[in-house]
Structure 1
Amino acid sequence: MTFELEQVEYDAHYQQFAVPFLIEGNAENNCYFVNQAKENHVYAVNDALQGLLHDALSLLGHVEFTKDADHFFRYGVMRRLRMVMSAFRSFQSVIMPDRTVPLTQDQSDNVCRDLNAIYINILGVLDNYAWVTVHQAGCDSTKCAKPLSIGLFKPAIADDPGLKPIIDTLASFSAWEQDVKTRRNPAAHRMPLYVPPAAFTPEDIGEFERYELLMSDAVRKGEFDKLSDLRESSRRIGRLVPLFLHDPGEKVMEIYPTLPQDIGQMVKIGRLVQDFLRNHGPAIDAV
């Protein structure tokens, strides 16, 4: 595994940027260094995702794909990779690990949109890679299999002798693939993923109600010049807790490191599949 791919694992950053500086009983100190580890993990995943896309472009210039493999690679894999990269950049421009300021309504809408786009396309990328490998290196019976039976972790591919090498290589990701489905499948079929804009203590709620009264009083007195500052102050009540979920009655997940870790696993799988594809087709310059 290259250094770049090692860096998509959160534990590597936790061990380097947090563990040496943690102090028992000092929560504020520990939170700072854990956030440093999480931020460096985000930057590493950004770089790895960009590297995967560059490698995909290079692959198109070096491997003679079959017509169908080329179709799924260009219009499936590469489109989805760009969508994941764009959504992840947009998400982190609003929420990084150290943010505590509550989200505005627009920010909440935007991060929820980005989060759902990322998780839907993570598995979409893997499905597109499956179709590319089938049409590039699979046997005729696999190419004719029912569409829903095609996937990197499904028996139809595992039983194909031409695809066995890549399927064996990807076996260690099977547990992660099942886990990420718990985040993706409800978003696609039932409840979209959601980031709560803020968490409130009873004191915060009292303070919010106080500002509501102040704004009502300003309107009643015609002191409209005060409204903007009052609204801005009320929006800063509470604290962002970086969590996401599908349904209030279900499991709550930490945004960091979960989100970049999931993208990182997709990147690792993508690299392995692209390396496989390099060896399963004539080189363009040799054709």
Structure 2
Amino acid sequence: MHGLLRRVKTLRRCIVEVFRLIPPSRRKAVDSLRREKTEIYLQSFFLNISGCLDNLAWMWVHELGLKKQNGKPLSRSEVGFRKTQTVLRASVSPSFALYLDSLESWATAGENYRDALAHRIPLYIPPFSVTIGNVDEHRRLESASRIAQFRAEHVLSADFDKQRGKLEFFQAMMMHSFSEGARPMLFHAQMIADVKTIEQLTIRLLADLRIQQEEQR
């Protein structure tokens, strides 16, 4: 439990700082330093969301004394709330199992981001966005600007950049890797949804745990 409570404090601080650094209503471009600071809090937040799930799963295992059928302790990979973690899932009540089923898509999306962050590509806030209808024109202007720079036509290059900038707008979203087909997330809403999910999961887990412990007496 103390591990979970420490993480909750960290989650709270991450939310406060992200909303302070980049308010949800922000549409103007954000400088690189501000984006980098925000990315640090986002990375901490999503690793600790994953950690909260681990803490809750281990709490369940220890409180009920769950073990394998042969009496040996569960391995780390067997401790969790996913459908593939059958020993733990078999120990929960039918109503709690249904609730966990409803979290599968949320857990899969979070796992995708957590694995990328921990093992491959850290989370990233794109400096700008462009509507689909303006993508080709944006690319044309970018190419024209580079050619002008190569020719030392700096005034012309700056003009192309100015035109390109008019097609850009800031959107508070995050990614890990476009090449891996990651789904962009609007991070303010995602942070609130994630922390509320952890709160609801904790409430339901404690209620189910209390019932099972009373039945064992």
Question: Residues of 2 paired with 1:94 and 1:193: CA distance?
Answer: 16
CA-to-aligned-CA distance 1:224-278 (integer Å, 9 cap, x gap): xxxxxxxxxxxxxx63222211124333333343332233222221221133344
State the partner residue of 1:174.
Answer: 104
State the partner residue of 2:174.
Answer: 244
State the partner residue of 1:122.
Answer: 49
Moved more, 142-151 or 117-126: 142-151
Verify the 8 A CA contact 2:54 2:80 in the aligned structure 1.
Answer: yes
State the partner residue of 1:81.
Answer: 8
CA-to-aligned-CA distance 1:168-223 (integer Å, 9 cap, x gap): 442221222112212222111110111123348659x89xx77x99xxxxxxxxxx
CA-to-aligned-CA distance 1:76-134 (integer Å, 9 cap, x gap): 21111111111111111122221012222221111111111111111210111000011
Output the amino acid matched with 2:177: D
State the partner residue of 1:25.
Answer: none
CA RMSD of aligned residues (A): 3.0
TM-score, length-scaled by structure 2: 0.70
Secondary structure of 1:141's partner? coil
State the partner residue of 2:89.
Answer: 158
Does 2:183 correspond to 1:254?
no
Output the amino acid matched with 2:34: Q
Secondary structure of 2:103's partner? helix
State the partner residue of 1:133.
Answer: 60
1:140 deviates by 4.1
Secondary structure of 1:196's partner? coil
Output the amino acid matched with 1:84: L
Output the amino acid matched with 2:32: Q
Question: Residues of 1 paired with 2:38 and 2:206: CA distance?
Answer: 30
Q: Tell me, which stretches of 5 or more residues in structure 1 are unaligned?
A: 1-72, 214-237, 283-287
Does 2:80 correspond to 1:148?
no
Q: 1:242 to 1:169 in 2, by over 3 A?
A: closer
State the partner residue of 1:97.
Answer: 24
Does 2:202 correspond to 1:270?
yes
Verify the 8 A CA contact 1:87 1:117 in the aligned structure 2.
Answer: yes
Question: Residues of 1 paired with 2:98 and 2:32: CA distance?
Answer: 46
State the partner residue of 1:187.
Answer: 117
Q: 1:128 to 1:102 in 2, by over 3 A?
A: same
Q: Tell me, which stretches of 5 or more residues in structure 2 are unaligned?
A: 131-137, 147-153, 159-167
TM-score, length-scaled by structure 1: 0.54
Secondary structure of 2:185's partner? strand
Question: Residues of 2 paired with 1:105 and 1:152: CA distance?
Answer: 38
CA-to-aligned-CA distance 1:17-66 (integer Å, 9 cap, x gap): xxxxxxxxxxxxxxxxxxxxxxxxxxxxxxxxxxxxxxxxxxxxxxxxxx
Question: How many residues are aligned here?
Answer: 180
